[in-house]
Amino acid sequence: MVPASSQTLDYQIVDVFTETALKGNGLAVVFDTVGLSSERMQAIAREFNLSETTFIQRRDVETEKREGVRVRIFTTQEELPFAGHPTLGTASVLKLAAPETISGDTIKLALNVGTVPVRFKADSLFGEMMQRDPEFGDQLDPAEVARLIGLTLGELSASAAPQVVSTGTAFAIVALRSHEALARLRIDQEDATKYLREHGGRWFYVLGPTDGDTPAWRARMQFYGGEDPATGSAAGCAISYLVRYGFVAPGRQIHVRQGVEIGRASDLFLAADGVSGKVGDVRVGGSTVRVAKGELFLP
């Protein structure tokens, strides 16, 4: 029986950074939310209980062409100015549900952080978002970082110190000597949060290289007492850091696999350019697959 309600909203659920349903990072996308209060959006995000929920607020055609489709992003606890898998996933939903939002091969989203374009491969839901140029913040004490993430100092890379980096959301990027140490990652959330706030960061994004000739890395991001299957915003910060300090050649695409330890394997494809020591053209790509659709019945 459908409950009595004063408002009905359509939604879709997709998995992002994967081609396989029930893998990757789940996202709820809610349509037609113009006039919906921030408090109601936050309550809906808590109801879905996914890493993030996005809210599409359509505007006139000319505004959307110029500035992009207005989208707001909420975790279960707060609104974010930018997040990667919600950006990619929402653009993929719009490509299928609102093809008029596509200009050529690109959909622009107007987020709180500004306009972010997502470019799609032809006849595909593989998209690549162009993130803001990175801002490099505080370098962090490797010994203190090692303590906070539950690893030894010797397991961190000696080539560059951990550093806070932002392409819209600030993460502390920690490069390891090998991905094998990721299995032992145990972030002290209370102490880490206090430490990172003092240095302008939100969360740790920890990654290490895998064996083989193809540039590939594994990553983990633990937050809110849990773990994120895929973190597109942090991935943009990570590739910026890796290019700046010579771990990855400018323009070279790398494959990052995240979420393995929690049974939600995700595949992210990253690249960034670097000219005269300046990193730019940060690109984070991956696929999206549809999982469900339905209606919200709101009092």
Q: pLDDT above 90 covers what percent of the chain? A: 94
Q: Is 52 a catalytic residue?
A: yes
Strand partners, 8: 297
Q: What is the pLDDT of residue 277?
A: 83
* Same fold: 7-132+288-298 with 135-281: yes
299 pLDDT above the threshold of 80: yes
2 pLDDT above the threshold of 60: no
Tokens of 100: 């008029």
The backbone torsions φ and ψ at residue 245, rounded to the nearest 5 degrees and listed phi first, read: -105, 15
Q: What is the pLDDT of residues 152-181, one digit of tens each?
A: 999 999 999 999 999 999 999 999 999 999
Residue 4 pLDDT class (50, 70, 90 cuts): low
Are the C-beta atoms of 5 and 299 separated by less than 8 Å?
yes
- Taking residue 282's Cβ as centre, other Cβ atoms within 10 Å add up to 24
24 pLDDT above the threshold of 60: yes
The 3-state DSSP class for residue 73 equals strand
Region 135-281: CATH code? 3.10.310.10
DSSP code of 3? Answer: P
What are the domain boundaries of the chain?
A: 7-132+288-298, 135-281
Name the catalytic one among 19, 39, 52, 67: 52
Q: Which fold has domain 7-132+288-298?
A: Diaminopimelate Epimerase; Chain A, domain 1 (3.10.310)
1 pLDDT above the threshold of 80: no
Strand partners, 280: 273
Are the C-beta atoms of 145 and 296 separated by less than 8 Å?
no
Q: CA torsion 197→199→205→206, rounded to 10°? A: -130
Chain mean pLDDT for the chain = 96
Q: Which residues are CB-neighbours of 62 under 8 A, at least 6 positions away?
A: none
DSSP code of 185? Answer: -
Residue ranges of E strands in 58-209: 69-74, 79-80, 106-111, 114-120, 126-131, 135-139, 163-166, 170-175, 203-209
Are the C-beta atoms of 211 and 8 separated by less than 8 Å?
no
Q: What is the pLDDT of residues 183-227, one digit of tens each?
A: 999 999 999 999 999 999 999 999 999 987 667 999 999 998 899
